[in-house]
Amino acid sequence: MNPKKRKYRFLKYIAYICIVFGLAIAILWLAFQHTPKAYSPMPSENPEQVSLYLTHKLGPDFFNQVQLGRPFELIIEQDGLNDIIRQGIWPQECGPATVDTPVVVFDKGTIYAMSRVGYLGLSSVLTVVAKPTQDPNGLVNMNIVSVRLGLLPVTTLAAHIAEMTMQQYQADLAEWPELETAIRGVITNTAFEPVFDFSGDPVRVEKFELEQGRLRLRLKPLDKSSSSCRI
C-alpha cells in the first residue's frame, strides 16, 4: 500500500476514534447533568421554623391516636413530608461534598428520594429508588432497586460510600443499636423489625401502603419497654 494512503487511513481511524470518544464523553456528561422533573424543591421562607404540617397535623394525629393504645392508621402526605424536610439549612456540608434540599416522591409501591449533591465543583441530582416490602413476619425491607447520579447508575458505589459513612459515625450510633440495625438494613437491602420510638411512644409498623402522593401506615402502640428505634 502506498505510504501516503496508509498514513491517510491511519489518520482517518484516529479521527473516528476521537469522534466516538468525544460523543461518549458528551453523552455521559448529559446523563450526569440530567435533572428529574420531580426534583423541584421549594425554598423555605423561614428555614429555622418547624414545619406547620408537623406541629399542626402529623404530630397531633400521631400522639392523639397513640395515647389510646389501639392500632390506628396514620397518613403521611408527600407535600407535608417535603415541607418538614425543607425546614432546615440547605445546602449542608458532608465533608468535601454538599447536599442540597432533598425531595421525596411517593408513587404506587415506590419511593423516590432525590437531592442535588456537589463535589469539587461538580453537581448532579442523586436519585434513590426503593420498592419497600414486608414479609409474613412483619419484617420490612426497603428494597433499594437503584441509585443514580443524573441518569448514571451508581448503586454499588453508593452502597460502599454509605457503609463507609456509617462506620465513620459508629460511635454516635452506639447508644442506638436498634436504629443502627435499621440503617444497616437499608444500606444492605436486608429486612429489619419496624419498631420505632417517637419521643417515648413506641409503635410497630404492622402494615404500609404506598400510594401516589401519600404513605399510609398501620401502626400498633407497644409497651414502652418494647421500643427499638428511638426517634
Q: Give yes or no: residues 194 and 149 share one domain.
A: yes
The pLDDT of residue 101 = 93
Q: Give yes or no: residues 4 and 113 share one domain.
A: no
The pLDDT of residue 173 = 67
Q: Give yes or no: residues 5 and 77 share one domain.
A: no
Close Cβ partners of 171 (under 8 Å, ≥ 6 residues apart): none
Q: What is the distance between the alpha carbons of residues 174 and 225, in angstroms, rounded to a whole number?
A: 19
The pLDDT of residue 140 = 95
Report the DSSP pairing between strands 140-141 and 133-134.
antiparallel
Q: Quick one: which of 157, 89, 83, 163 has its CA closest to 119?
A: 157
As for how many domains the chain has, the answer is 2
Helix (H) or strand (E) holding 62: helix 59-66
Q: Give yes or no: residues 73 and 111 share one domain.
A: yes
Number of H-type helices and E-type strands within the chain: 7, 14
Q: Give yes or no: residues 72 and 158 share one domain.
A: yes
Mean pLDDT for back-to-back runs of 10 residues, the chain (231 residues): 60 72 74 88 81 93 92 96 90 83 96 91 92 95 94 86 74 69 84 85 93 96 65 53
Q: Give yes or no: residues 210 and 126 share one domain.
A: yes
Q: What is the dihedral of CA 126, 52, 71, 109, to 10 degrees?
A: -30
Range of 175's domain?
A: 34-230
Report the DSSP pairing between strands 195-198 and 229-230.
parallel
Q: Give yes or no: residues 106 and 192 share one domain.
A: yes
* Burial label, 17 (beta-carbon count in 10 A; 0-12, 13-18, 19+): exposed
Q: Give yes or no: residues 160 and 48 share one domain.
A: yes
Three-state DSSP class for 109? coil
Q: Give yes or no: residues 149 and 105 share one domain.
A: yes
Q: Give yes or no: residues 11 and 85 share one domain.
A: no
The pLDDT of residue 4 = 57
Cα–Cα distance list, 2 to 10, 13, 141 (Å): 12, 17, 67
Q: Give yes or no: residues 102 and 195 share one domain.
A: yes
pTM of the shown model: 0.84
Q: Give yes or no: residues 104 and 28 share one domain.
A: no
